[in-house]
Chains A and B, each alone.
Chain A
């Protein structure tokens, strides 16, 4: 008699997910499904609205990635209006992108993924959280919160708002950076860079080294990767071309506006969320032994697709990473390591930009005129490649809108990693809380933002595993 294991909701990820694990008659994993809720109705809601409102509206899509939606939308607007923005406007946008990246990386590593490594996946869940980290490493907690304070303050000084930003506008950036503001922000960025250096050293010495076995076994799947790169192949998070890399490391590149030629969207009847795939790699298949069309985005993808990193400290980290794990690295838990390399890069790049004399230029914006056009804006959100695609009529009103958010790209890989983790951990019907948490770790590594729409005060929130026989009878329940 087959059984069903349900983990719902998965904790310490952005949003809610329900994991269902089907066991066969011998108690081994037959199949798994990760079901998620997606933002529904946004693309219809914006039809008929002035396109220049989009950068402001889209910050309400997600409380986790407001800056990245804001910037992708502003870039799509630039394309719709057909303008080149002034260098200072571009640099201010890129500066905000990098500062927001730093805050997000710190949040994810220390609050979400870190507890699994600091406290260990078998630790009681009551201490396997950021408070456990604080008790085990109080000095680390102080550094974490200070670095995040600085990120908030920098964005407030540069743009006036760290939440719900409004300063990236069609044609540029609405607020030039004053010299006295630059002088305030630069030492803050330098301090965040010092924290980034501490964070990756701390993680390598104290955390990752203890869990290399898990890194090399849990949720490992073989896929391709997608991410932005600069013209010289360097890591890019604000601009550039999209590089689509096959599992064997070969790749092709394309302009973000041409994404529909390369990326298809597969639909599964059991999920509202679409499954993007590489059109030219054959039919879509999530078969673990012979996947087809599957690529991943987010930190590990960006680290894999780039040739190099243009800042020296992050480049040194990249070289060490590749020496250990090769290229492309397929281990899912390496997302956490790649994330910290990106933290170093983002902090270094923020310092670079703040030392650029052009950053305080008063020329940050050009005027725009409505027209009928299509515009695609693409940035790397922390959770993956973020694409905003708008079409407008001659009055600049939106006639079509398509968004592909970072987590959506990773829908198929998340499902595959969960299946791989469950198949490797659950044998003969035996499982426990530690095993369940390891399955969740495979999801958390992707740092998914599964539902920007969900919002309710849920007093029954818990991790739940139900074991149900083929007739629908609940045989056992586990909760934490």
Chain B
């Protein structure tokens, strides 16, 4: 049995998942952030970045079932909360209604209930880094709007700072992702 193989998305201490569909305007924010990170030659040690596109749920389910998991997961996604386009913010998982914690609808990714399970049942540090969209078109139309495009580099810097701080503080640091929490 090849029992020693663990995917990097499970074995890395910090996992960044860029989520979204690049075919639908600002919904491509998460993948754009992931690609910007992956283009850097000197990613911090222990940081795994995946352009998950619309495939993130498979990764999350594997992590949920896995004995070896990242210590922290940063989900990067585009969200419409009626804020100023391009604003970065951090939605709280605590806002998830209890009634929906177990309805594992899959394609609407990342499902908030699954993130809740990862955070509460698997005791992972799950963070959401979201960007307010300007528009997500109803038909296929790739390309980020200017304010969301501008937010990509800011999100990249935040994640790199957070990962660097985490590395220096070690695995038991309680104030991880402090930069993100100040958003």
Contact = CB atoms under 8 A, between A and B. Distances in A.
A11 B105 CA distance: 5
Contacts of B58: 63, 103, 107, 148
B106 interface: yes
Contact of A64 (B20, B55, B80): B55
A459 B61 CA distance: 19
Contact of B112 (A41, A449, A459): A459
Interface string B93-114: 0011101111111111111110
Contact of A455 (B27, B113, B141): B27
Given A163-B52, A453-B21, A146 B3 contact: yes
Interface stretch (B132-140, B148-156, B159-167, B175-183): B132-140
A457 B107 contact: no
Contacts of A131: 64, 102, 117, 121
Contacts of B56: 63
Which 4 residue pairs across A and B have the least CB separation, nearest first? Answer: A63-B54, A41-B139, A63-B55, A41-B140
Contact of A134 (B27, B54, B65): B65
Interface stretch (A13-21, A410-418, A424-432): A13-21
B91 A107 contact: no
Contacts of A457: 77, 79, 91, 110, 112, 130
Contacts of A62: 54
A197 interface: no
Nearest to A134: B65
Contacts of B52: 63, 163
Interface in B1-34: 1-3, 5-7, 10, 19-24, 27
Contacts of B55: 63-64, 66, 163-164
Nearest to A112: B106
A455 B24 contact: yes
A125 B111 CA distance: 16
A479 interface: yes
Given A63-B54, A188-B2, A456 B108 contact: yes
Nearest to B65: A145
B25 to A, nearest CB: 11
A30 interface: no
Interface string A4-31: 0000011111111000000000000000
Interface in B33-69: 50-58, 61-62, 64-67
A355 to B, nearest CB: 17
Interface residues of A, number: 65
26 contacts: A12-B103, A15-B107, A60-B53, A63-B54, A66-B53, A111-B61, A112-B106, A125-B103, A129-B102, A130-B64, A130-B104, A142-B67, A148-B58, A163-B51, A164-B51, A164-B53, A187-B2, A451-B107, A455-B19, A455-B109, A457-B79, A457-B130, A461-B105, A461-B108, A461-B111, A462-B99
A59 B55 CA distance: 10
In this complex, the interface size class of chain B, counting residues with CB under 8 Å from chain A, is: 35 or more
A144 interface: yes
Nearest to A104: B58
A191 B65 contact: no
A283 B56 CA distance: 41
B99 to A, nearest CB: 6
A15 B21 CA distance: 13
A61 B107 CA distance: 12
Q: Which of B19, B57, B107, B138 has the most CB atoms of chain A within a 10 A radius of its CB?
A: B107
A159 B6 CA distance: 18
A458 B97 CA distance: 11
Contact of B54 (A45, A455, A459): A455
A153 B6 CA distance: 9
Contact of B104 (A11, A63, A141): A11
Nearest to A148: B62
A126 interface: yes
A13 B2 CA distance: 31
Contacts of B111: 461
Given A60-B53, A111-B61, A462 B107 contact: no
Nearest to A124: B102
A402 interface: no
Interface in A145-203: 145-146, 148-150, 152-153, 163-164, 187-188, 191
B22 A130 contact: no
A12 B105 contact: yes
Contacts of B6: 149
Nearest to B95: A459
Contacts of A141: 65
A148 B77 CA distance: 25
Contacts of A44: 139-140
A461 B61 contact: no
Contact of B20 (A146, A153, A187, A455): A455
Nearest to B6: A149
A290 interface: no
A146 B6 CA distance: 8
A452 interface: yes
A12 B138 CA distance: 23
A460 B19 CA distance: 19
